[in-house]
Every structure is written in C-alpha cells, then in structure tokens.
Amino acid sequence: MGCAPGLVQTPFAWALPLQNRPPVILDFATSAIAGNKARIAWNEGRAIPAGCAVDANGQPTTDPAVLMTEPLGALLPFGGHKGAGLSLICSLLGAALTGGETESQQIPPRAGIINNMLSILFDPARLGAEEHYSQALLAQVDWVRSGQEGHDVQIPGEPELRAYARRQEEGIWIDDVSWQAFVTLEALNT
C-alpha cells in the first residue's frame, strides 16, 4: 500500500537588514531539497540526493521523476520531524491564518501555483531598540566569522549575492527543457 503526499515544501524566510552591509536573508523550503532543484535535476536527467524523496509507495528514491509524473511521490522534510513540524506551522500561519487553502482541503488540480503568505514586520525603532539592534546584529555577524580566516564562512544570503553577481557577469543558465517550456509559452502569446 502506498502513501499520499502530505504537506507541501512550505517556504520559510527571514530577512534582517544590516547597516551599510547586505542583509542577512535566510530563505529555504522545509523539504530536504527545493522542488525546483528536483525539477532541474529531472530536466537534466540527474538523480537527486538520497534522503530527499519517496516514491508513491513510500519507498526512498533518488529519481526526481517520482515528483513530476503520476503516481506522485513526495519530497521529505529536512531534519525529520523538526522539518515536518516547521512545515506544518508555516502552512498554518501562511494559509489557515490568512484565509488561504490548506493541504487538508480537497482542491481540484488547476494550472499555476497558489501561494499563501504571512509577513510579520518588526521595526526596531518602534520597539525602542534600533541602536542596540544594529550594533548587536553587526557584532554577531562579525563574531560568527571571527577566527575563521582561510575558511569560506558564509552568512545566510551571501551565496545568493554571489550567484547574482556571477549571473550579472555570465548570464543565467537555463536547462534545455525549461528553455523549451519558455519558447512554447512565448508562442502562445504571439
């Protein structure tokens, strides 16, 4: 007997502005691998890492096709029960709290992706902590890197900044399957 996919790969993100520096940005799927990374692997005919997915029978697999074709398998949460718990909380806050659809509802298949989102913004100045906040964040980021000379210690958001700079120089690589999908969509709009 198989098992049905449960929670989706709920994203979770935090952004912390830093004075005169790029912000600290932590943004990740609560699945062991992001769905789009699995799609790119499928497009390129590559396997995904072990421990990231199960097939429609609940068996571990490295074949991304189980995530793209019927019968569908599922992405596993990162960190076992902790990732699954975080995914549930994100779903509850991002969908249930905002009036959106949750995974428990019987939603008919449709084109496109429906995303729900909850944003909570804090203004340190309104909390009376602006100066302390700025100093504490800068000190903590510097402390994380201290004593790590010769090692590439990256703060969340830095890999994406590096990728952005590289893409500005080299362009954006798109796999053939994705490119053909763009071409097909473009043809529909002409």
CB atoms within 10 A of CB 165: 10
pLDDT band per the 50, 70, 90 thresholds, residue 1: very low
Mean pLDDT for all residues in the chain: 88
Residue 59 has a pLDDT of 96
pLDDT band per the 50, 70, 90 thresholds, residue 113: low
Q: Is residue 144 part of a domain?
A: no
pTM, two decimals, is: 0.76
Q: Is 34 helix (H, G, I), strand (E, B) or coil?
A: coil
Strands (E), 46-153: 53-54, 60-61, 74-75
Q: Is residue 41 part of a domain?
A: yes
Q: Is residue 77 part of a domain?
A: yes
Residue 109 has a pLDDT of 64
Q: What percent of the chain shows pLDDT beyond 70?
A: 92
Least confident of 3-12, 90-99, 162-171: 3-12
Q: First vs last Cα of the chain: how many Å apart?
A: 47
Residue 2 has a pLDDT of 44
Residue 112 has a pLDDT of 55
| 111 has a pLDDT exceeding 70 | no
Q: Is residue 167 part of a domain?
A: no
Q: Is residue 1 part of a domain?
A: no
| 190 has a pLDDT exceeding 50 | yes
Taking each helix axis from N to C terminus, what angle separates 176-188 and 35-44, rounded to the nearest 10 degrees?
100
What is the residue range of 21's domain?
Answer: 11-103+117-137
Q: Is residue 182 part of a domain?
A: no
Instruction: Report the C-alpha gap between 13 and 25 in whole angstroms.
Output: 7
pLDDT digits (tens, 9 = 90+) for 114-171: 678 888 898 998 988 889 999 999 999 999 999 888 899 999 999 999 999 999 999 9
Q: In 3D, which of 138, 111, 113 has the Cα closest to residue 124?
A: 138
Q: Which two tokens mark 12?
A: 């979770």
**Mean per-residue pLDDT, 92-101:** 83
Q: Is residue 35 part of a domain?
A: yes
| 106-to-22, 43, 101, 179 alpha-carbon distances in Å | 42, 29, 9, 33
Helix (H) or strand (E) holding 182: helix 176-188
Q: Is residue 133 part of a domain?
A: yes
Reported as half-sphere exposure (CB side, CA atoms, 13 A), residue 62 has a value of 6
Residue 58: give its domain's CATH number.
Answer: 3.30.1370.60
pLDDT band per the 50, 70, 90 thresholds, residue 90: confident
Instruction: Report the C-alpha gap between 92 and 90 in whole angstroms.
Output: 5
Domain count for the chain: 1
Instruction: Report the C-alpha gap between 85 and 83 in whole angstroms.
Output: 5
Residue 3 has a pLDDT of 58
Strands (E), the chain: 11-18, 21-29, 53-54, 60-61, 74-75
Instruction: Report the C-alpha gap between 112 and 67 in whole angstroms.
Output: 16
Q: In 3D, which of 116, 121, 53, 67 has the Cα closest to residue 90?
A: 116
| 37 has a pLDDT exceeding 90 | yes
